[in-house]
Structure 1
Amino acid sequence: MNITDRALLLIGQSNLSDLTRAGSTDYNRWVSIKRGRARVGADEIEILGKVYPQYRWWLTTGEVMPEIKQISPESNTASN
């Protein structure tokens, strides 16, 4: 899974209105990305990291670091 796949996974489980409010990407662009009509850009990656801070490391690298509460949607658990 690459960074685009990881971003699309998060976008697919997100409320697009929440993503729109979190940054400068408008709702129609989020819809286009979700439907495969547009590519995910750096701005959208940054917004996803802002909305999902617990997934930032996974989003950019594909790795999890539960010891610092950086998880993936699949693991969705972090060490306390």
Structure 2
Amino acid sequence: MAQSMADRAMQLLELTSLKDLAEVNSKEYVRWQSIKRGRARFAVDELEQLAERYPQFRWWLITGEVLPGIGQTRP
């Protein structure tokens, strides 16, 4: 079964320090914690932030496909 975009985003989130996404104890940091713990779902803003942080995984994040010829891989 194919992974959903949320599954792929969670995979990237597992590779990422929350400190790299938001200032500790900020509203955004708490939001990322909630997502990571499964208490909240990804919103478009968070998906965009992960895509900006990992441009080499952007196509994979959105589609689940890789395009190694143009540098689009997966983690």
TM-score, scaled relative to structure 2: 0.89
- Does the residue aligned with 1:32 lie in a helix, a strand or coil? helix
The corresponding residue for 1:31 is: 33
Q: 1:19 aligns with which of 18, 21, 36?
A: 21
The corresponding residue for 2:11 is: 9
| Structure-2 separation of matches of 1:40 and 1:50 | 15
Amino acid at match of 1:13: L
Q: Deviations over 1:23-50 (max 9, x none)?
A: xx71000000000000011000000000
| Structure-1 separation of matches of 2:34 and 2:8 | 16
Amino acid at match of 1:10: L
**Structure 2 residue runs without a partner (length 5+):** none
The corresponding residue for 2:59 is: 57
1:20 to partner: Cα distance: 1.7
Amino acid at match of 2:72: Q
Q: Root-mean-square deviation (CA), in Å? A: 1.2
| Structure-2 separation of matches of 1:6 and 1:27 | 20
How many residues are aligned here?
70
TM-score, scaled relative to structure 1: 0.84
User: Percent identity among equivalent residues?
Assistant: 53
**Structure 1 residue runs without a partner (length 5+):** 74-80
